[in-house]
Amino acid sequence: MRKVTLSVATTALLLTGACGGAEPQESSAAATLTFWTPHTTPDRLAVQQSVAAKFTSKTGIKVEVVPLESKQASQSLVTGAASGTLPDVILYSPNLIAAWNAQGLMDTEAPRQIVDELGADTFTESAIRMATVGGKLGAVPSDGWGHVISYRKDLFKSAGLEAPESVEDIVTAAQKLAKDGVRGIAMGTQPGDGYTGEGLESLLQAAGCQLVTNGTVAIDSPECVTGLDAVQKLGAAAGTGELDVGAARAAYLAGDAAMLLFSSHIVDEVAGLDKDNPVTCQECKKDATYLAENTGFVTALGTAPQYGQTSNYAIPRGASVENAKKFVSFAMSEGYVEMLSTAAEGRIPMRPGPAKGSTEYLDAWADLPVGNDPATKKSIKAVYGEDVVDQLAKGAASFGRWGWGTDDATLAGVVFSQGTLSKELGPLFSGTSPADVAKKMAAEVDSVKQDLGE
């Protein structure tokens, strides 16, 4: 970790969004880098420490791996800027990266240098776009997870339904299968909840709805009203009670839901490989593989981007830049596959291989074991086959989020992080017309826009 001397004026600029910052520290082979990571469980931390140790063995540069949840990271970074103590490398989502860039806390030159050195054409275009803020690459894309629709193939077959390919198909299936105590779909229905916000953006984006178009708030457009109508119908098909991430997952694993809108983290749980979230469906008591064998996955719907969240390596202003760049490059090459192994089901590589057209890293990822029980770990490919691996990889190559890669990235990030839209879902699920809800959402987004001075 580097000590950065900031004047009172500079600190004020950082906290109000000016593009200031301390000068980079000189590289030193004897330096100790500080790396903040959101992968905080003991087993995942051990893997990252292993990669750091290998980097140290190769370069002589020590690395202190600091586990820090996303909610803690923002405040800690701002506090560090004010006190003169900043980490050298951080691994977080585009939402946070955009906000930190807006505050002038991030180095916006180093990420491009790293990517160019590794080969920009070895990364997925969508990941580069999502990490671009204000025309500059704000961080180096590492990996990510995408929203998938898990659906019960056996229930669909019995009802004469094909695999869903659009939001309309999902609504039709959910309404038809919501009976006999089974939810048509399990998804976030708790207003203001982060999981609910993810699902909302995922569905609206797939319906052709945009939050902002060329700087103009568009959440009240006809496409968005139509999308909100679909969300309203899905909320009704989701059954009684407000569902958060735990309740939605549990419903599907118990066989109480015909579909589930969830991240790719669900693949190991459906396979019964997560001892903390076991499969409990009636049929699973006799056959632990029943749910996995009868679950299909849908990634991108139609031609719309797949809703995804990426993890990105960023370097704060004032870091030991040259050494930080070496560490990120190592973590994205020699240490890459091992880093992905911390949670392979949710860390799909954004860099498929070390050269253009190569899938070396993607192929290695497909063989990584998933789950949290060493006795039962298996790879995604071993459980589901090549088709599901290909689906997940193809979906990851199309990741997209509202505003990312455009001048509206900061606005989109704030709207999501504050739950601006999902807070308005209570009235929607209670029967308020989608058009009226869309108008209220648009007014709230306009308010955020004004607060940002846009």
pLDDT, residue 30, reads 56
Q: Is 395 within a domain?
A: no
Same domain, 341 and 431: no
CATH classification of the domain holding 33: 3.40.190.10
- The pLDDT-based confidence of 432 (bands split at 50, 70, 90) is very high
- Averaged over 150-173, what is the pLDDT? 98
Q: Under DSSP, is residue 264 helix (H, G, I), strand (E, B) or coil? A: coil
Indicate the residue among 389, 409, 442 that finishes a domain.
389
Q: Is 191 within a domain?
A: yes
Q: pLDDT for 209-224, tens place per residue?
A: 999 998 899 999 999 9
The reply to whether the predicted model has a pTM over 0.95 is no
Q: Is 355 within a domain?
A: yes
Q: pLDDT for 66-116, tens place per residue?
A: 999 887 887 888 888 888 888 999 998 887 887 788 788 899 999 999 999
**b/e 356-376 (16+ beta carbons within 10 angstroms → b):** eeeebbbbbbbebbbbbeeee
Same domain, 163 and 287: yes
- Averaged over 15-41, what is the pLDDT? 64
d(CA 426, CA 263): 23
Q: How many domains does the chain have?
A: 2
pLDDT, residue 23, reads 47
pLDDT, residue 133, reads 82
Indicate the residue among 389, 415, 432 that finishes a domain.
389
- The pLDDT-based confidence of 12 (bands split at 50, 70, 90) is very low
- Averaged over 298-326, what is the pLDDT? 93
Same domain, 161 and 94: no
pLDDT, residue 22, reads 44
Q: pLDDT for 227-281, tens place per residue?
A: 999 999 999 999 999 999 999 999 999 999 999 999 999 999 999 999 999 999 9
Q: What residues are paired with 186 via a beta bridge?
A: 260
Task: Select the more confidently predicted residue: 55 or 454.
Answer: 55
pLDDT, residue 423, reads 96
- The pLDDT-based confidence of 413 (bands split at 50, 70, 90) is confident
Q: Is 394 within a domain?
A: no
Structural domain containing residue 77: 2-144+308-389
Q: Is 62 within a domain?
A: yes
pLDDT, residue 94, reads 81
Question: Among 26-30, 178-182, 395-399, which is the least confidently predicted range?
Answer: 26-30
Q: Is 64 within a domain?
A: yes
Give the pair of three-digit tokens for residue 342. Answer: 């911390």
Q: Which amino acid is at 9?
A: A
Same domain, 237 and 294: yes
pLDDT, residue 15, reads 34
Same domain, 85 and 181: no
Same domain, 425 and 362: no
pLDDT, residue 125, reads 95
Calculate the alpha carbon distances from 220 to 33, 141, 232, 401, 430 in Å. 47, 32, 15, 18, 19
d(CA 319, CA 315): 7
Same domain, 438 and 302: yes
With residue 113 as reference, give the H or E element that holds it.
Answer: helix 110-118
CA proximity to 258, closest of 227, 228, 289, 296: 296
d(CA 45, CA 39): 7
pLDDT, residue 10, reads 33
d(CA 85, CA 34): 10
Same domain, 86 and 226: no
Same domain, 250 and 118: no
Same domain, 44 and 110: yes
DSSP conformational letter for 344? G
Task: Select the more confidently predicted residue: 70 or 132.
Answer: 132
Indicate the residue among 347, 366, 389 that finishes a domain.
389
Same domain, 283 and 159: yes
Same domain, 161 and 58: no
Q: What is the β-pairing status of strands 32-37 and 89-92?
A: parallel
